Structure 1
Amino acid sequence: MGKIITFGEIMLRLAPQGYDRFVQAKEFSAVYGGGEANVAVSLANYGKEVYFVTKLPKHEIGQCALNELRRFGVSTDYIVRGGERLGIYYCEKGASQRPSKVIYDRARSSISEAKSEDFNWKDIFKDAEWFHFTGITPALSDTCAEITLEAVKAAKELGVKISVDLNYRKKLWSTEKAGRVMGEIVKYCDVIIANEEDAEKVFGIKAEETDITNGSLNEEGYKKVAEQLLNRFNLQYVAITLRESFSASHNGWSGMLYDGKDFFTSKKYDIQIVDRVGGGDSFGAGLIYGLTSGMGSQESLEFAVAASCLKHSIEGDFNLVSLEEVTTLAQGDGSGRVQR
């Protein structure tokens, strides 16, 4: 089995205590996280050899982020040091009908100002079997978009499987620019992961008879979305997470996987949310784990959805669950009974 590479930005997350609003906060808790870093930590927890690639400032806060990755078993050999700052995001947790809020303070972060020569992709992908990134990374700057394109080209040339979570962020770029940039990058990918909004925002592919604001999702509509994505980009798999948002605290959670021939749908979980940040990343990590571990399509999907379900019960960005815990839930034990 080869190593798994993820590439993106890790940030400092600052959050009020509990469910306090920003305007109430007298103090903020500090943790680290970010889409591809979250995936890396999950895969390391499951026993995979995983490397996170980024650029971090040389100062102590950059070192804190690097140490946090090492603490959970993620290899940091390809992290470049330089630049002036680590990106920050502020997260206010929602409850009931009040949504969560995120404020970014990531302009001019080290990774957003990285240069092509910072990364030797042929060395990085040596003996690798999988490369994962999200649509957040090329959205950080034009240079990051160029570096991401260079990365997928190198990975494809070396026979490395490539997955992308579209992860559209309206605070980072427009739908027009996202579609133009991602349309070129995704040509080199094997697997697309998307949520109920991403395909529409990035590529203009909308699921029929779906209204995400009232929690109404049409499974048949998403099958058509998956078909269009797979055919447009000649993909091996399209995975779609299906979130029914009844409130900020209560979601329905399931997923779909399409392999060009068959559609697979997971069981649905009724989730009372502790922290939903990183939910999609934990799904992506679970899917990658399944597909790189000899699981079939249905089993890989069930593992991914179960892993993500558990993440919603954990504070912070990282999905700090074991392989055994995910497997137990995926196999049907969702009772939550005390383990003695």
Structure 2
Amino acid sequence: MKRVVTLGEIMLRLSTPGFERFVQADSFDVCYGGGEANCCVSLSNYGLETRFVTKVPDNEIGQSAVNSLRRYGVDTSFIPRGGDRLGIYFLESGASQRPSKVIYDRAHAAIAEAKSDEFDWDGIFEGADWFHFTGITPALSDAAAELTLAALKAAKAKGITVSVDLNYRKKLWSQAKAQEVMTKLMEYVDVCIGNEEDAEKVFGIKAQGTDIHKGEINHVAYEEVAKQIIEKFNVKLVASTLRESYSASDNGWSAILFDGEKSYLSKKYDLRIVDRVGGGDSFASGLIYGLVTELPYQEALEFAVAASALKHTIPGDTNHVSKEEVLTLMGGDGSGRVQR
């Protein structure tokens, strides 16, 4: 069985019930999530072996975060305990013309201050076929960037395929800092995942003729962006989600994959959104599943887009769907009829 390892932060998510605003809410719904953790849950649901690496505080909140992964079969045995706290983020879900809003409370989180010598890299990568990280992790702190670099070097020393989801977050670092750090880390990357904003903010590469706010997507421009990333960093594959934001409630959703010679375009789904947080993570995990199990590129892309389309219908950070449900949607059954 294929094994995927991911490294990153898992956070406590506190979201307002339904579509209430922060100033309305008298309580919060609780769940745990984070880019790389979300990927592990999805890949476990698809039947792969997964291992999540982070650091959490040695208290009940840290243990609750770990437990939230164990219930899906994610291996958490290499997570050290210590540090001051678990990061928190607050979510207010948008609707129609009102966008969602996120407020972070993650300064001095345990993973942001972790050191490489706290991790058994040989054990972590034993038997691994794939390593995945996001641009969020090195953005947490200089220490987290060094930790990410150490993990990448260890993975490459074992010949493991590496993927990155760029995931630029302006609340965590500047464009200049992102470009400086990510350029160094890209030396170890085989598969690069991102959207049009990521490519522009992190690498200064803009998709011409594209305006997601107007629902305008230029596929040729995205192919050109992918070519530039491949030429600059010598990666093997570049994938980009194509989100057309008609409103906070309704999006067009598709993706493109480029292998340096040929581009692959997925079918498009028109989404009515329940919760879009984790949509990109569900795409990344779907693509990783397709590639690590050696599906043809077009099928791997279609699996990723179908999986992430389903995630948009599910509250919470993680994608609680099975491989069979993804394959059903891939096969054209998106009717939403009751399954009896």
TM-score normalised per structure 2: 0.99
Query: How many angstroms does 1:133 deviate by?
Result: 0.4
Correspondence 1:228 to 2:240: no
Query: How many angstroms does 1:215 deviate by?
Result: 2.1
Question: What secondary structure does 2:129 align onto?
Answer: strand
Query: How many angstroms does 1:114 deviate by?
Result: 0.4
Query: How many angstroms does 1:212 deviate by?
Result: 2.2
Q: Which runs of 4+ in 1 moved over 4 A?
A: none
Paired residue type of 1:41: V
Corresponding residue for residue 256 of structure 1 = 256
The within-5 A match list for 1:65-144 is 65-144=65-144
Distance 2:49 2:133 in 1: 16
Corresponding residue for residue 27 of structure 1 = 27
Corresponding residue for residue 169 of structure 1 = 169
1:138–1:148: 8 Å Cα contact kept in structure 2?
A: yes
Corresponding residue for residue 199 of structure 2 = 199
The within-5 A match list for 1:317-336 is 317-336=317-336
2:237–2:257: 8 Å Cα contact kept in structure 1?
A: yes
Question: What secondary structure does 1:243 align onto?
Answer: strand
Question: What secondary structure does 2:248 align onto?
Answer: coil
Question: What secondary structure does 1:336 align onto?
Answer: coil
Distance 2:296 2:196 in 1: 24
Tell me, which stretches of 5 or more residues in structure 1 are unaligned?
none
Corresponding residue for residue 338 of structure 1 = 338
2:2–2:293: 8 Å Cα contact kept in structure 1?
A: no
CA RMSD, aligned part only?
0.7
Question: What secondary structure does 1:299 align onto?
Answer: helix
Query: How many angstroms does 1:156 deviate by?
Result: 1.1
Corresponding residue for residue 64 of structure 1 = 64
1:196–1:243: 8 Å Cα contact kept in structure 2?
A: no
TM-score normalised per structure 1: 0.99
Corresponding residue for residue 52 of structure 2 = 52
Corresponding residue for residue 213 of structure 1 = 213
The superposition leaves residues 317-336 of structure 1 with CA deviations (integer Å, 9 ceiling, x where unpaired) of 00000010001101211111
Distance 2:64 2:128 in 1: 27
1:51–1:75: 8 Å Cα contact kept in structure 2?
A: yes
Aligned positions, number: 340
Distance 1:2 1:244 in 2: 34
Distance 2:127 2:39 in 1: 19
The superposition leaves residues 40-63 of structure 1 with CA deviations (integer Å, 9 ceiling, x where unpaired) of 000000010000000000100000
Question: What secondary structure does 2:172 align onto?
Answer: coil
Query: How many angstroms does 1:84 deviate by?
Result: 1.2
Distance 1:150 1:75 in 2: 20
The superposition leaves residues 95-152 of structure 1 with CA deviations (integer Å, 9 ceiling, x where unpaired) of 0010000000000000001012111222211211100000000000001001101111
Q: Calculate percent identity across the aligned residue pairs.
A: 65
Question: What secondary structure does 2:333 align onto?
Answer: coil
Paired residue type of 2:337: R
Distance 2:71 2:196 in 1: 33
Tell me, which stretches of 5 or more residues in structure 2 are unaligned?
none
Corresponding residue for residue 294 of structure 2 = 294
Paired residue type of 1:247: S
The within-5 A match list for 1:153-192 is 153-192=153-192
Please say which of residues 114-123 and 244-253 is displaced more in the overlay. 114-123
Distance 1:189 1:157 in 2: 13
Corresponding residue for residue 41 of structure 2 = 41
Query: How many angstroms does 1:184 deviate by?
Result: 0.4
Paired residue type of 1:226: A
Question: What secondary structure does 2:23 align onto?
Answer: helix
Paired residue type of 2:161: K
1:139–1:173: 8 Å Cα contact kept in structure 2?
A: yes
Corresponding residue for residue 149 of structure 2 = 149
Question: What secondary structure does 1:133 align onto?
Answer: strand
Please say which of residues 326-335 and 46-55 is displaced more in the overlay. 326-335
